[in-house]
Structures are given as C-alpha cells and as structure tokens.
Amino acid sequence: MTVLRFNTAPEPGLVVVHRGQQYELITSQPHRRRDGTPTVVLSWQSRCATCGEPFIVTTGLSLKDPNRRCPRHHRPGLPANSKRKAYRRGGVHG
C-alpha cells in the first residue's frame, strides 16, 4: 500500500498520481484538530474514476486511499435513485 505523506504543506498546483489517478492540489489551509493539534487540510481536484466528472477531495498531510470517485459514485453498489433509502438506519442502538 502506498501512502503519500508530506512533512510540510505542499504548494497549490502540485500534481500527484496515486494508484494511477491524478490529483491536483487546489488549496492548503491551516486547521486545528479537536485535541488542539495544528494541522493542514489539503483540497485536491481529481476526476471520478467512474464518470470522469471533476470533484474535490480533502485530506490531511498524508494521502491514504483518497477518494477515486465523485460523491455520486463514491459508494459503489448504491443506486443513485435510492438516496432516501440510504439514509434509513436499521434498528436502534443502545
């Protein structure tokens, strides 16, 4: 498994290829985690592996299996017209 990791925020415009898919860095923004640790949020533009539509994926300084698909195709096997059913949750926990 390949994990891309940056020590410092890379410059916007950087293009990386992850598992044959291209990601272009759009912005890098400082961010603070819930525990107060400063980090960076990187926004990448890529193209959906299914339909080719451009989409944005945000990651931290390490890219571990970033999205390869647009939000519409993010979940394979989930038909686009069953959105309402997808929000149903089975059972009550607790």
Binding site for Zn ion (CB under 5 A): 48, 50-51, 53, 70, 72-73
Report the residue number, 51 or 86, with the smaller CB distance to Zn ion.
Answer: 51
Minimum CB–partner distance for residue 90 and Zn ion (Å): 27
Residue at 65: amino acid letter = D
Minimum CB–partner distance for residue 19 and Zn ion (Å): 17
Q: Which residue is nearest to Zn ion (CB)?
A: 48
Task: Give the CA-trace dihedral at 61, 66, 71, 74, to 10 degrees.
Answer: -150
Minimum CB–partner distance for residue 48 and Zn ion (Å): 3
Report the residue number, 60 or 72, with the smaller CB distance to Zn ion.
Answer: 72
Minimum CB–partner distance for residue 54 and Zn ion (Å): 10
81: CB partners within 8 A, 6+ apart: none
The sign of the CA dihedral 74, 70, 53, 43 is: negative
Report the residue number, 39 or 50, with the smaller CB distance to Zn ion.
Answer: 50
